[in-house]
Structure 1
């Protein structure tokens, strides 16, 4: 795990080494072990290294084939041993035992097909000094980040957006990105909150040739292809085999590997498998002192049953709000998922004991883990009603008083899936955003983001369609952004065995009735794990990373919230009176507005960090 920065030159623009060094300094946290640079007439590359594999010889930028090819690479290729053996059989030679050199060997043999053949998490840029062609790619699912900006013919790229922001002194706020953020609580790809900086979409690569525009091409897209008739036991065996293999490959490292443990089924499955390969593996958990908002006790019980050590930390509201600007700095863009902040503390805790950690992220999206995925079953009765009748019921329900019992059920049941489900977070409705945002654009609703995914899945059942939306939006924009930034802030490499292309090959074939079944979510995953995970762990109710924001905004964080709203310089974008009314109604118990308020506060703190510069000492 590392970080890189760089520039693709245009028209002999001269040395940019000093600029790239400035960009590279910004991401020292991603790679405190080493730094390196390469420059020629085509590119300038900078790199920060966190040593994980081949500690002595894995430095970058790395060259290959008599320095014809040069690379900067962030991530891990888990099938690099197998790929290296394949290349060696074809006569390719290697000077190191690193996965980085294997990517270069693959590029020499396969060219732009390289990214599709890699199994892992990665973002990289390769320069061919003979053809002057630059090739870059981002992994299949978007585990690793890739940002870029084009200015005056130059292309700047970086693992973290803040490097480009620093160089270009970019103080812009993208109105479209802000509007989408207020729906999703994150900025969806390929947007960033900065107008001129974009993200390379997962499963895509780019080619940049001298004198030509950068060309971006899709090489992979995750698609659910359920096979309705399958033997349950055989499918469970295939899932178990794929997970064993994935965890084994994700354990490859020349440093200590630990694991996050929330006490839920996903992280427990990963720990149960990892323990088979590393019996002394340490696990890490965080929580809050408030009753019902901590998984520490559950995690400790799970650790005992799995016979592993557990190390935990209780987070106070004072610590939470004190670290929040630092958290926001490392996120690059606002992320208003309250559960993201505890992971910031969790990563710091884990880094005291290990350099690599495993996590259970991705299981919910692949195996049907969210309770909301059961909604199509609970609303099935409405499928039998004529459309005019559903329309009449919907119209009637909309006139019922807010909070009236049955109102939400009737509205959801008579609303098409495409308008009802936008992913795991739906913060502000369009009419609310029109009141909140001073630059609201009615021609840019949230469906601009979700419609392409719904259009591509008309052949699927509703549950798989919901998973597909989350796979393309929530997983990338929320969970994986959080996973990368919080851990890299602590110089910790986080690995996600569930988010693996070989695991997905199996998971993509699971029919919906084997995901949501027998009054539980992730039914077939739980069945697959029965042979190596205790039942009382497998069938425990999902808790997640609960954060008592609802209570804190009424009490411990109320004054901080008011101060942030009043002092933040976002009047060009936000109607503060509307926000203060949300807070007042929340405080007085009129309705729970905590997620809406937190989403706005997160943007305000982001604005203070990146636009107003109110926290100059953040690192």
Structure 2
């Protein structure tokens, strides 16, 4: 990960902004640099060097042949070599981000973002017209926030460096590009809806699913730093780990799992690691260590969403272990599969195939508020970079185009994510008992079934928040009023850091078509592991 920061205005100098810019230096521990690139434009960059690790890859980066164009980019452009060949560019820096400068000068911003295959949040300044351009990848895998106060405009990888200077801060919408010529307009270049393909042969569908996911993994192996995988032992992380292990080369792959004593994830992850012969790290953490990380996690993730906080604690602690004990910098994960492949248990209750399709699209559109946010902040706050193959745009577009009735499931004779499982059946990629393992959420799997992580938190919160305080205060919130005492506890912590910025999330993540007020899958009727 890297951290970007830009300011357009005349009110502040770097002496006013540098301390807040430094709040996200954990995103890029290898190099930090800031400079005034125009009379009223300041750029800052914290770098985690993954590609083109030499000094030529430092940012802010100028176009090699035109000093009037300057870029800051947190991202990986997987097709940068193909684009350089297509347009005849002679790349100089070794950094994949250079292709954005080349493309912009050659074909302009709108055509550039259409051709990029990768994950990114970038800001580009064209001094000849004194205009800023910015864009974010289609799923929002790389974070970005835009803040304003009067005519001043701030853009940053996270909200915390800019909230003290802005009246309004919003997440930069994924799949759009923006220009300082009209600061209120976001130009959409990516659309989630796909025309349904007229294909019902499951063998053909599964072959395409398999090929697209393999390609999504292979293109993300682009790295000059050591690669590792988060491995919970569930279907998604196990499948990605298997493919990374197969295609990354001859080195034994480092894999990581975390949990409390009795965690079901620890058991399954070790089974997968043995099958794949990875160098596996099992991190067994006490309840208190999990609980003591909650406040730090809420600060890092800039969210008070209940399930996001729960899942982020384990994600943060395993990333902290990786940072402190290994040389791995690029970390693969299985995030995005439940949204794209219809994996959430509650989706079996969708009233119709149309409802299932619409819910899958909604989950993908909003993933940058929830699972993608959790993954980015938990990993990047430890100076690491997340790679998320299930959110490859070609894979997402194809899976969304599959007829919805083929994605329906009942949880018994047809499990969730049936087509994904079938695509890798008899391929010797995973043990059958893992490939066909029922879903267990990351926030639940770090604990045992008889003492779930969310129950541990709720017992802890009962000792901090009285019933009277919760009942007296919960209705004082107009936006996202907490329905659980646990949620109120998270909100209090969030407000201590980010008061008046509660709209950074639009609503709580909650399952539909169920009567529960708790987002844990273990609270759903009929749930089993």
In structure 2, runs of 5+ residues without a counterpart are: 501-529
Secondary structure of 1:4's aligned partner: strand
Partner of 2:175: 203
Q: State whether residues 20 and 45 of structure 1, in contact with CA within 8 Å, keep that contact through their aligned partners in structure 2.
A: no
User: Could you tell me how far 1:549 is from its partner in structure 2?
Assistant: 4.2
Q: Which residue of 1 aligns with 2:7?
A: 7
Against the structure 1 CA distance between its residues 555 and 21, is the aligned structure 2 distance closer, same or farther, given a 3 Å change threshold? closer
- 1:108 matched to 2:105? The reply is yes
1:512 to 404, 428, 439: 404
- Kept in 2, the 8 Å contact 1:76–1:99? The answer is yes
Q: Say yes or no: does 1:365 pair with 2:339.
A: yes
Query: Which of these residues, 355, 369, 375, is aligned with residue 477 of structure 1?
Result: 369
Give the secondary-structure state (helix, strand or coil) at the position aligned to 2:178: strand
SS of corresponding position for 1:165:
coil
2:445 is aligned with 1:541: no
Match of 1:85 in 2: 85
Partner-residue secondary structure (3-state), 2:161: helix
Instruction: Name 1:222's counterpart in structure 2.
Output: 192
Q: Which stretches in structure 1 are left out of the alignment for 5+ residues? A: 171-194, 381-459, 580-594, 613-619
Residues 1:53 and 2:51 aligned together: yes
> C-alpha separation between the residues in 2 aligned to 1:234 and 1:99?
34
1:598 aligns with 2:502: no
Structure 2: how far apart are the matches of 1:574 and 1:232? 48
Deviation at 1:71, TM superposition (A): 0.5
Question: After alignment, is 524-533 or 509-518 more displaced?
Answer: 509-518
Deviation at 1:542, TM superposition (A): 1.1
Aligned 8 A contact 2:331 2:384 in 1:
yes
Return the alpha-carbon distance in structure 1 between the equivalents of residues 161 and 142 of structure 2. 16
Aligned-residue RMSD, C-alpha = 2.5
1 or 2, which has the higher strand percentage? Answer: 2
In the alignment, the residues of structure 1 paired with residue 374 and residue 400 of structure 2 have an alpha-carbon distance, to the nearest angstrom, of: 24
Match of 1:259, SS?
Answer: strand
Query: 1: CA distance between counterparts of 2:489 and 2:285?
Result: 20
User: Which residue of 222, 234, 245 corresponds with 2:215?
Assistant: 245
Shift of 1:38: 2.8
Structure 2 residue aligned with 1:36: 33
Deviation of the 1:556 alpha carbon: 4.6
Distance 2:379 2:229 in 1: 12
1:510-561 CA distance string (max 9 Å, x none): 2223323542111111111121333221101111220524432564553134
Q: CA deviation at 1:213?
A: 4.4
What is the DSSP-based 3-state SS (H/G/I as helix, E as strand, rest coil) of the residue aligned with 1:164?
Answer: coil
Shift of 1:358: 0.3
Deviation at 1:158, TM superposition (A): 0.7
CA distance in 2, matches of 1:162, 1:118: 28
Aligned partners of 2:59 and 2:71 also within 8 Å: yes
- The higher radius of gyration belongs to 1
* 1:456-535 correspondence runs (5 A): 461-473=354-366, 475-517=367-409, 518-530=413-425, 531=427, 532-535=429-432
Work out the CA distance in 2 between the residues paired with 1:487 and 1:294.
22
Q: TM-score of the superposition, structure 2-length normalised?
A: 0.84
Shift in Å, 1:366: 1.3
Measured against aligned partners, the alpha-carbon deviations of 1:294-353 in whole angstroms (never above 9, x if no partner) come to 411111111111221221212322112221111111112323211221111121122232
Equivalent residue for 1:443? none
State the distance in 2 between where 1:534 and 1:322 align.
Answer: 36
For residues 322 and 297 of structure 2, the distance between their equivalents in structure 1, rounded to whole angstroms, comes to: 16
> Which stretch shifts more, 114-123 or 46-55?
114-123
Residue 127 (1) aligns with residue 125 (2)? yes
Q: 2:196, 2:52 → 1: CA distance?
A: 40
Call closer, same or farther: CA 1:570–1:130 in 2, change over 3 Å.
farther
Structure 1 CA distance for aligned equivalents of residues 458 and 343 of structure 2: 31
Question: Matches of 1:574 and 1:316 in 2, distance apart?
Answer: 33
Correspondence 1:282 to 2:269: no
Query: CA, structure 1 residues 521+558, in 2 after alignment: closer, same or farther (shift >3 Å)?
Result: same
In the TM superposition, what whole-angstrom CA distance separates every residue of 1:175-222 from its partner, at most 9, and x where no partner exists? xxxxxxxxxxxxxxxxxxxx611111111110113xx54532111121
CA contact (8 A) 1:262 1:544 kept: no
SS of 1:461 mapped into structure 2: helix
1:72-471 to 2 correspondences below 5 Å: 72-88=72-88, 92-113=89-110, 114-166=112-164, 168=165, 196-209=168-181, 213-278=183-248, 279=250, 280-289=252-261, 291=262, 293-337=263-307, 338-351=310-323, 352-353=325-326, 354-376=328-350, 461-471=354-364
